[in-house]
Structure 1
Amino acid sequence: MIRIETELNILPANNGDSILIKTYDKNRNEVIILIDGGTPTTFKYSLKKHLKEIAKIDLLVLTHIDNDHIGGLKNFFKNGLIEKIEIGEIWYNQPDAEFYESRSEKAIISVPQAEDWKALIKEKKNGVAIKEITTENRIINIKDLEFTILSPTSEIINKLYKAWLKKRNKPIEKAIKSQISICKPSFSKSLEELNKIDFKPEKSIDNDIYNSSSIAFLLRCPDLSLLLLADSRAEVIIDNLKNMDYSESTPVEVDFVKVSHHGSLNNTSQDLLSLIKSNNYIISTNGGTSKHKHPSRETIARIVCKKNRNDDILNIYTNYSLDRIKLRIGEFIADEDLKNGNWNIEHKNTFTKNDL
């Protein structure tokens, strides 16, 4: 199929991520990239209808093994549609361990989900190359597309594998159904005030090893540049951008940024944003769960008030309507916020160069 422009689709994935990119090589031949599958229901209600129109996925990326990223991929591989779609290669960091069947379809912890998907790959797509991806790869070229790997480091992956192998034989935790919180917190501080608060993540990298292991990268397509941060840690991305000689005065320039970890306040720092030049930021979330709500108002503040912004309007996009997100987390954005800073926030799922 011939394609003349890149199409970035941030699919509705509940509180997770599922990204479908339709781009092209130098001969205008279509190249398809699927990044994550969202929660288990994402496949049925969102991803499936897109995949019905696709004959080949050139690259399938599971950024990390949390349920809101792997769940939809598991259901994809269990569906008959998997037999009709060719897969070029899979990026998926996993330890070299024996396959075994998950003991509970309701498990929500990461490791049993991942082991189950490993078995499904072996059953449905045996022979497809599965590649371990770390920052040691640095730059990867696939069909004229350039991927610059920014996370995870080899050190983080080694720690992930130790945690994985330690956890895989423990009893499965019971799933807990998340309820929408009826508590609607007040947001008394202005965005300017919130941006002045120092970035202090709640967990260290080692204590957040699954998110820290996220595969995050800069993707340069023929007509678009995308910074896709999965659920990566700001500290890791900062180190790698600086190692590439990016700085506040010479930031990396991209058309769109997929903000890390659904806009959590623990993954997007002021220092990270100072290394990025973009006017378009995308947050993938329906508002989260009663325990983990996002996007945080702090993250919005850091994006809007970043110190090296230009004078152009800054756009923040959500893949669910603002009204739906507010039902879960409250009035995280008020009309008063939009009066300062020359910025806009709106719901949008599909992006092309015409949106720039």
Structure 2
Amino acid sequence: MLNLKCFKAGKGDSFLMTWESEIKNRLLIDFGFEGTYRYLGPLISDFGVNDFVIITHVDYDHIGGFFKWLSDKQHPINRQLTVFLNTPNLIVAPDSSEKVGIKHGVNLEILLEERGIVPKPLFVESENYNTLKIGDVELVILSPSIDILSMLIEKWTANKIYQEYLNQKLQTNDRVGVDVHKKLRSKEEILKSPPQPHKWEDDLLNSSSIAFLLKYKGNQLLFLGDSNPNIVCEHLKCNESEPCEIDLLKISHHGSKHNTTVQLLKSIRCSKYLISTDGSGPYYHPSRETLVLIATYGRKNEDESITIYSNYSLDKDKLLTKDEQKNIIFKEIEELEFDSKF
């Protein structure tokens, strides 16, 4: 059995997967914000040689709790732990040093060195060499490409990324679930002119996100981080005529309208979707457009039931009409389990 825990990570992501092979393996995907660590700490205090961490990308809603973990001197970190993280040189610690013992401006590379952790890169190297085996689990890496990482390193610096984080923090409002000041588009408008993904060159921080297809004893789970859907579709090797059977799709970028496309949804067969967000500003994810596309293209027809899981309660009535909610189950969860199909 594979167990997936979905932590309350604010606007961010944090998931813990546990499964039984010959030995017990665990995989932590992202750390959310700093406050997420209060949920994570007790569960990862004994992480060791059989456990793995993936930090999908450099946004602070995915790595904030990572700093908290590195600074928690009461709990040693096993140096044999495997951590996958691209471009650690582009990350500096957030400015909350009085609480977590880190001074603003300290590069993540220094903190990792102090803990004896040497992160490994994880990206699409070639069409024939993009898989990672962890016991009975296989990860097929779908994003990012080396071109994206190279341009990220060329265009961005650690201080520039940190300033971007501070700017977003200033825009943050209290949790309201949807932006009440924005006029919602009709379903007809959305389907006639669906939102388009950003060019990856114009959205390097999110496009550099690690995305992968997780395979476990007949189950297939798609974890998309904040990745670009065009990049994912390019490497997924599925299409409308030959769709992949997916048991769970972790929607990219907390349900942003620019990260879920008609092409992606038509390339898979899936009845279970997962969105990680508390719905707060400035972006008020998930987008209505994303839910309309899932309801329309994420199933064969409206008579087929689908489930949209979330780690917080979604205000569905402000996102979809009653008619649009037909045969859609919205469910707030803390964990999911997947039995072996073999």
In structure 2, which of residues 303, 309, 319 is the aligned counterpart of residue 317 of structure 1? 309
Measure, in 2, the Cα distance between the counterparts of 1:180 and 1:86.
39
Which residue type is aligned with residue 250 of structure 1? E
Query: Take 1:249 and 1:7, find their aligned partners in 2: how far apart are those partners?
Result: 31
Decide whether aligned partners of structure 1 residues 77 and 163 sit closer, same or farther in structure 2, where only a CA change above 3 A counts.
same
Instruction: Give the counterpart of 2:134 among 132, 142, 149.
Output: 142
Q: Per-residue CA shift, 1:128-164, capped at 9, x if unaligned?
A: 4x22111114122222321101000111111111123
- One-letter amino acid matched to 1:20: L
Name the SS for the 2:151 alignment partner. helix
| Range that drifts further, 176-185 or 11-20 | 176-185
8 Å Cα contact 1:65/1:113 also seen in 2:
no
Alignment of 1:6-45 (within 5 A): 6-25=2-21, 27=22, 29-44=23-38
Matched, 1:60 2:53: yes
Q: Partners of 1:348 and 1:277 in 2: how far apart?
A: 22
Whether the 8 Å contact between 2:25 and 2:134 is mirrored in structure 1 is no
Per the alignment, residue 219 of structure 1 pairs with 214
Residue equivalent to 1:302: 293
CA distance in 2, matches of 1:267, 1:100: 23
Q: Kindly tell me: are residues 305 and 286 of structure 1, through their superposed partners in 2, closer, same or farther at Cα, counting changes over 3 Å?
A: same
Indicate the residue corresponding to 1:240 in structure 2.
Answer: 235
Question: Which residue is equivalent to 2:67?
Answer: 74
Q: Secondary structure at the match of 1:123?
A: helix
Question: TM-score under structure 2 normalisation?
Answer: 0.84
Amino acid at match of 1:217: F
Distance 1:17 1:216 in 2: 13
Indicate the residue corresponding to 2:100 in structure 1: none
Q: Which amino acid aligns with 2:72?
A: N
**What's the offset of the Cα at 1:14?**
0.2
Which of the numbers 145, 150, 154 marks the counterpart of 1:153? 145
Q: 2:245 corresponds to which residue? A: 253
Range moving further from structure 2, 66-75 or 246-255: 246-255
Q: 2:195 aligns with which of 162, 182, 199?
A: 199
Deviation by residue 1:239-291 (Cα, 9 ceiling, x = unmatched): 112xx3x21121111211100000000100011111111110000000032x2
CA RMSD of aligned residues (A): 3.1
Cα distance in 1 for partners of 2:91, 2:62 equals 20
* 2:340 is equivalent to residue 351 of structure 1: no
**3-state DSSP class of the match of 1:352?**
strand
> Residue 109 of structure 1 corresponds to which residue in structure 2?
none
SS of alignment partner, residue 265 of structure 1? coil
5 Å-filtered alignment, 1:39-118, equals: 39-44=33-38, 46-52=39-45, 58-80=51-73, 82-83=75-76, 85=78, 87-94=80-87, 104-105=95-96, 116-118=107-109
Amino acid in the other structure paired with 2:319: F
What SS is found at the alignment partner of 2:318? coil
Residues 105 and 307 (structure 1 numbering): CA distance in 2 closer, same or farther, change over 3 Å?
closer
* 8 Å CA contact 1:15, 1:284 repeated in 2: yes
Provide the residue aligned with 1:286 in structure 2. Answer: 278
Distance in 2, Cα, partners of 1:122 & 1:19: 25
Deviation string 1:40-95 (CA, Å, 9 cap, x unpaired) is 11112x22243247566611101000000011111111113541556531111117
Taking structure 1 as the reference length, the TM-score comes to 0.81
Contact 1:32 1:56 in 2 (8 A): no
Q: Residues 191 and 300 of structure 1 are in contact (CA less than 8 Å); yes or no, is this contact kept in structure 2?
A: no
Matching residue of 1:269: 261
Separation in structure 2 between the aligned mates of residue 196 and residue 226 of structure 1, nearest angstrom: 29
CA gap of 1:171–1:117, structure 2 versus 1, over 3 A, is closer
Q: Distance in 2 between matches of 1:271 and 1:117?
A: 37
Unaligned runs of 5+ in 2: 98-102
| Residue 229 of structure 1 pairs with residue 214 of structure 2 | no
Counterpart-to-counterpart distance in 1, 2:96 and 2:66 = 14
For structure 1, list consecutive stretches of 5 or more residues without a partner in the other structure.
107-111
Q: Secondary structure at the match of 1:61?
A: strand
**Cα 1:101–1:229, aligned 2, differ >3 Å: closer, same or farther?**
closer
Counterpart secondary structure, 2:58: coil
Residue 294 of structure 2 aligns to a residue in which SS? helix
